[in-house]
Amino acid sequence: MTVSMRVAGVAGVEAIRAQFPALERSHQGNRVAYFDGPGGTQVPRAVVDAMADYLYHHNANTHWAYPTSVETDALIEQARVAVGDLLNAAPAEIAFGLNMTTLTFHLARALGRDWSAGDEVVVTELEHHGNIAPWQALVRELGLKLRVLPLVVKDGTLDLSGLPGLFGPRTRLLAIGAASNALGTVTDVAAACVMARQAGVLSFVDAVHAAPHVLMDVRAIGCDFLACSAYKFYGPHIGILYGRRERIEALDVPRLLPAPDTAPERLETGTQNHEGIIGAGAAVDFLAGVGHGPTRRARLASAFSELHQRSGALLSRLWEGLAREGRVRLYGPPPDAPRTPTIAFTVQGLSAEAVARRLAERGVFLSHGDFYAATVVERLGVAEEGLVRAGCACYTTSEEIDRLLAGVRALLRS
């Protein structure tokens, strides 16, 4: 990134875009505009280079005495430190795995070994089912009971004042999302975790949708566990599980007896995706490289703050543009509420899939359906036709927003 492409030390959008080869793609004569970040963002060159460099020059299994194995250990540790900086956690509190869903099933199974029939877990209706199914599995396996905080349908939020009433003497865990991948709602998980702690309840935060947009701070949130996925923040397809160190050490986790039994490796089953782990670390460095400051955490804070400003402006432009169209219905909190730049909408008379297909013809790529937030679309009454979802990322421009809006206007006219 050249200095001239930085304003007040922060990378401008063109400097950011120059790092993403995917943005050079055209579709049917149009430059592709990727609004599919909530499903998975594009990947900058530095992340792919770090993964390729590992596979070409350092590839080995861990914990042996020869150089490539020693280098593998060091590179994995560096990635844990980087991801720790992203979440404000210690490297020993960062475990990797296939994806958030698999890690959460694994965690639920381990926690469940300590629970018994009649114990309770509190979830919410705003969750991606990756934060419901792992707990639901314990309903069948253990006789666990799920208690559910309802969605406030009118604005797609949660009313956290209802939480303490759901906690009882048998409540073991609160499983709550930091942001909705369907509606963009940001939930005050720090407040929710305080309530959980006061009731003697563990907390698990699903930060998969939040992590690309809000700088996570597990210490400030006060959660016991938090999961996210690097492929949502410009990294490869790999999941991350933070656990408070003493919690990781106390877990009765399914594991091989000869494998390391110390935090965080006791959470990681079998040979890991080394290149993915290294790519996750490189993605954190990519994000830190957008900002400036004396430490990586400070650079991340500067980058997230700047990206928040920019994406807020894009979000308002998109929301207001769509709101002007009579046949478009918007869901979720308005732009000035705590939210990510992810907008869900429907177009009267058209299925979400039809809208996405027609916009794709113009090089505007966005996702449709329920995004596994199946309870949300049911409660909104759009399970049949689905939602169209447009997410802004660090490489999104206002020109792309205008192309999306022009695409919607064109299909309304046709």
Residue closer to ligand PLP by CB (options 229, 346) is 229
- Does position 346 interact with ligand PLP (CB under 6 A)? The reply is no
Phi-psi region of 111 (alpha: psi -120 to 50; beta: other; left: phi over 0): alpha
Angle at 23 between CA 19 and CA 29, to 5 degrees: 155
CB 35 within 8 A of CB 340: no
Residue closer to ligand PLP by CB (options 241, 405) is 241
CB 225 within 8 A of CB 98: no
**Window contacting ligand PLP (CB under 6 A); options: 124-132, 189-197, 241-249, 323-331:** 124-132
Chain centroid to Cα 410, Å, comes to: 32
Find all residues with CB under 8 Å of 310, minimum gap 6, and list them: 13, 394
**Window contacting ligand PLP (CB under 6 A); options: 56-64, 162-170, 206-214, 382-390:** 206-214
Residue closer to ligand PLP by CB (options 187, 396) is 187
- Positions of E strands within 100-224: 120-124, 145-149, 151-152, 157-158, 171-177, 202-206
Residue 178 has which token pair?
């930091």
Q: Is the dihedral of CA 76, 81, 82, 87 positive or negative?
A: positive
Residue closer to ligand PLP by CB (options 84, 239) is 239
Residue 269, Cβ neighbours under 10 Å: how many? 17
Find all residues with CB under 8 Å of 52, minimum gap 6, and list them: none
Residue closer to ligand PLP by CB (options 276, 363) is 276
Chosen residue from 41, 124, 157, 181 binding ligand PLP by CB under 6 A: 181
- Does position 84 interact with ligand PLP (CB under 6 A)? The reply is no
- Does position 212 interact with ligand PLP (CB under 6 A)? The reply is no
d(CA 106, CA 288): 30
Chosen residue from 192, 208, 226, 405 binding ligand PLP by CB under 6 A: 208
Q: Minimum distance from CB of 380 to ligand PLP (Å)?
A: 16
Find all residues with CB under 8 Å of 339, minimum gap 6, and list them: 179, 183, 184, 185, 186, 315, 332, 333
Q: Minimum distance from CB of 130 to ligand PLP (Å)?
A: 3
Provide the 3-class DSSP secondary structure of residue 52: helix
User: Which spans in 8-116 are helix H?
Assistant: 13-17, 45-57, 67-87, 100-112
Residue closer to ligand PLP by CB (options 19, 340) is 340
- Does position 239 interact with ligand PLP (CB under 6 A)? The reply is yes
**Window contacting ligand PLP (CB under 6 A); options: 26-34, 99-107, 136-144, 357-365:** 99-107
Find all residues with CB under 8 Å of 158, minimum gap 6, and list them: 124, 125, 126, 149, 151, 152, 176, 185, 187
- Does position 408 interact with ligand PLP (CB under 6 A)? The reply is no
- Does position 100 interact with ligand PLP (CB under 6 A)? The reply is yes
Chosen residue from 84, 177, 222, 391 binding ligand PLP by CB under 6 A: 177
Q: Minimum distance from CB of 177 to ligand PLP (Å)?
A: 5
**Window contacting ligand PLP (CB under 6 A); options: 13-21, 48-56, 123-131, 389-397:** 123-131
Chosen residue from 42, 101, 203, 340 binding ligand PLP by CB under 6 A: 101
Q: Minimum distance from CB of 372 to ligand PLP (Å)?
A: 6
- Positions of E strands within 320-395: 328-331, 342-347, 364-365, 367-369, 387-391
Residue closer to ligand PLP by CB (options 97, 291) is 97
Chain centroid to Cα 211, Å, comes to: 5
Q: Minimum distance from CB of 48 to ligand PLP (Å)?
A: 19
Residue 266 has which token pair?
């006791």
- Does position 229 interact with ligand PLP (CB under 6 A)? The reply is yes
**Window contacting ligand PLP (CB under 6 A); options: 68-76, 98-106, 140-148, 194-202:** 98-106
- Does position 130 interact with ligand PLP (CB under 6 A)? The reply is yes
**Window contacting ligand PLP (CB under 6 A); options: 73-81, 159-167, 201-209, 316-324:** 201-209
Angle at 77 between CA 72 and CA 82, to 5 degrees: 125
What crossing angle do the helices spanning 67-87 and 45-57 adopt, rounded to 10°?
150
Residue closer to ligand PLP by CB (options 96, 115) is 96
- Does position 206 interact with ligand PLP (CB under 6 A)? The reply is yes
Contact residues toward ligand PLP (CB under 6 A) are 99-101, 128, 130-131, 177, 181, 206, 208-209, 229, 239
